[in-house]
Amino acid sequence: MVVLDVFFLVTTAVGAFYLANAAIALVKFARRPIPLVREFLPTIAVLKPIAGDEPGLYANLASFCDQDYNGLYEVVFCLHSDGDSARRVVERVAAEFPAARPSIVYGENPDLINPKIANLAKDGVTTCRDVVVIADSDVRVGRDYLRALAAAFESQSVGAVTCLYSATPNRHVVSRLGALGINDGFAPSVLVALALGELRFCLGATMAVRGSVLATIGGLSALGRTLADDHLLGTLVNGAGYRVELSRYVVSTMVPETKLSALWAHELRWARTDFEVARGGYLFSFVIYALPLALVYLAVSRNVLLGLPLLALVLALRVSVHYLARRTLGASGPDDVALVLPRDFMTLGVWAASLFGRRKSFR
């Protein structure tokens, strides 16, 4: 029992340290301005990988077409086949926003193991623009999105730009748990990683890369040999001598799940992909969930004199991160602070499950 006491005490202390740094990182990020271009107007191709209809798809896609951007930009909708259930929505968006120079391309590259990139790296998809943007179909943006991305490319040292994303849940408690996992867990962890060193990965919600750099690293096909295309893009851009920039601009993503099994499968796929990318760091990532660890320490050690104050400290830090993340990310939806504890326990469960098995479920 002494060994367990020490283990949970140490891991809780490390977790508390992480939460403190996450709170600081959120405050610093919130204070950053959002630069928007005025005269620097690179040509931009926005590639939208789409696989089936989903809640909010029309509004998501339309937001990328309705941009306050005076430079040339085009939106390319990519579907695996012309029988895709999203086809009607895509055709409607393309018809309503001709200024975005929309095009629809069907088919896929059978040589690639990554289904998203296989949907993009095919005939008819242009990448010969100054900037190529890849953004998932469940992402929604404001009208100044392209101006914010273009601003980051004014520095010639920047090869790729990515964005944090806030999660928007539906009314179901499962969706709200999923949103908490992104807003309170994932986004702060990215900011802490950035505070520790140079950013070496992108985020799938927005992967913007110079067209010339994309050509240098082997084009879209180079990203299709792994499921972690966002991590690989960052690695290749860094290897080519360019920086990956985290934009201050925050996009929004929808959390459509209404069944716990669907959310679990989705998060397990993310977790197993992360495990394959960075096994060493991932093995110890459980320490960032200090609230469950503090409760376990109190239960195992029965040391009320130390356990209760430690639990109170961790709870205060965890709630602070929750509210700072909501403000910094501009998160919408209900304030689900009461779901923080079950959410953190669920994340620990996903982490544990990800260590066993390699199966990944895709839409």
Element (DSSP H or E) covering residue 309: helix 304-329
Instruction: Specify which residues 207 forms β-bridges with.
Output: 134, 162
Amino acid 297: pLDDT: 93
Backbone angles phi, psi at 164, to 5 degrees: -70, 160
pLDDT in tens, 248-284: 999 999 898 999 999 999 899 888 888 777 777 777 8
3-state DSSP of 202-263 = CECCEEEEEHHHHHHCCCHHHHHHCCCHHHHHHHHHHHCCCEEEEEEEEEEEEECCCCHHHH
User: Helix and strand tally (H, E) in the chain?
Assistant: 14, 8
Output the DSSP codes for 270-299.
HHHHHHHH-HHHHHTGGGG-HHHHHHHHHH
% of the chain residues with pLDDT over 90: 75
The confidence band for 22, taking pLDDT boundaries of 50, 70 and 90, is very high
pLDDT at residue 73, rounded to an integer: 95
- Minimal CA–CA distance to 324: which of 65, 143, 265, 316? 316
Residue 296 confidence (pLDDT): 94
Taking only the tens place, the pLDDT of each residue in 316-356 is 999 999 999 999 999 887 899 999 999 999 999 999 998 88
Each residue's pLDDT tens digit, 280-316: 777 788 888 999 999 999 999 989 999 999 999 999 9
Q: Does the structure show a pLDDT above 60 at 361?
A: no
pLDDT for residue 5: 86
pLDDT of residue 362 exceeding 80, the answer is: no
Which runs of E-coded beta strand occur in 34-157? 44-50, 73-79, 103-106, 131-134, 139-140
- Cβ atoms of residues 206 and 233 within 8 Å: no
- Residue 363 is predicted with a pLDDT of 53
Say what the pLDDT of residue 124 is: 86
Sign of CA dihedral 254, 259, 260, 262: negative
pLDDT at position 285: 85
What are the beta bridge partners of residue 254? 168
Whether the pLDDT of residue 78 is over 70: the answer is: yes
Q: Are 271 and 186 in contact (CB under 8 A)?
A: no
> What global pTM score does this model have?
0.90
Question: What percentage of the chain reaches a pLDDT higher than 70?
Answer: 97
Q: What count of Cα atoms within 13 Å lies in the side-chain half-sphere of residue 9?
A: 16
What band does 233 get if pLDDT is binned at 50, 70 and 90? very high
Cα atoms in the Cβ-side hemisphere of radius 13 Å centred on 203:
25
Q: Place 241 in a pLDDT band, splitting at 50, 70 and 90.
A: very high
Give the side-chain half-sphere CA count within 13 A for 337.
13
pLDDT in the model for residue 136: 93
- One-letter amino acid of 290: A
Q: How many CB atoms lie within 10 A of CB 90?
A: 22
Residue 44 to residue 40: CA distance in whole angstroms: 12
Say whether pLDDT at 358 is over 80: no
pLDDT band at 357 (very low <50, low <70, confident <90, very high): low
Instruction: State the average pLDDT for the chain.
Output: 92
